[in-house]
Structure 1
Amino acid sequence: MQKRILPYYFYISVSVGSFIYLAQQFEITLPKIVNNYVNDFLILPIVLTICLFILRWSRGDKNYTIPIGVIMYICAFYGVIFEYLLPKFHPRYTADFIDVFLYFMGGVVFYFLQKKE
């Protein structure tokens, strides 16, 4: 029997991401790398795991996997929206190429974790 890693990775990612978000809201000082980059790495596996769960449920196929092309498209979409468009219109967002790289790295991690199931 194969161990399912993706659900554990999902719950840990949501927990870590939530902790970082709450720490930022309460103005708790975090290391710069954690404050600026960790959630960018975690967000795509979180979103894609939710999408995978919904797709498996709606298709009735517990072995369905999201194709790499779709994953890369979603990573690119996040990069365009959050690193190109939103920084032009909202001061909370800043354009950062490293964030785009982290979106794609998170997508690659998700791709391999979903294949291990």
Structure 2
Amino acid sequence: MIRKLPLQLLHFYVLLSFAVFLVVQSLKFFSIFGPNWIFHHLNDFLAIPMVATLCLHGVWLIKKDRSIRLNGFTILSLVVLFSLVFEYYLPQQDYRYTGDVWDVVCYGLGGLIFYFLQKID
């Protein structure tokens, strides 16, 4: 028998985030204009909860224990990794990437959202 998936609020948030991400990418593709924060920061805010949820599922699969939650250090490490790669390293390698401190703030806020949503069962 299939057990009920834990963290329903987190999974709902991540599915909603994925839908918003697809809408933003579609707006970019069709060159539809909107507020700058939507095109420059919203996806960064949504990225960490989506990636961290995938990581959490990987841990559940490996450990076969759905009661495991990612700790603050692991989430902070993910935020730092994204910040270093996307806001420091890649802007030095390619002109299409720009380093922006507000993107780092968005990664951090997304990490906080994930941290608190995974605590609610």
Q: Classify the TM-score, shorter chain.
A: over 0.9
1: CA distance, partners of 2:82 / 2:17: 18
**Partner in structure 1 of residue 91 of structure 2:** 87
2:21 to 1, 17, 22: 17
Describe the superposition over 1:29-85 as per-residue Cα deviations: whole angstroms up to 9, x where unpaired. 121111111101000000001111121122111110011101001101100100001
**Partner in structure 1 of residue 56 of structure 2:** 52
Q: TM-score, normalised by structure 2?
A: 0.91
1:38 to 42, 48, 58: 42
**Partner in structure 1 of residue 3 of structure 2:** none
1:5 to 4, 9, 17: 9
Show structure 2 runs of 5+ residues with no match: 1-5
**Partner in structure 1 of residue 109 of structure 2:** 105
Give the number of aligned pairs.
Answer: 116
SS at match of 2:8: coil
Q: CA deviation at 1:3?
A: 7.0
Q: TM-score, normalised by structure 1?
A: 0.94
% identity of equivalent residues:
33
Let me know the Cα RMSD of the aligned residues: 1.3
Show structure 1 runs of 5+ residues with no match: none
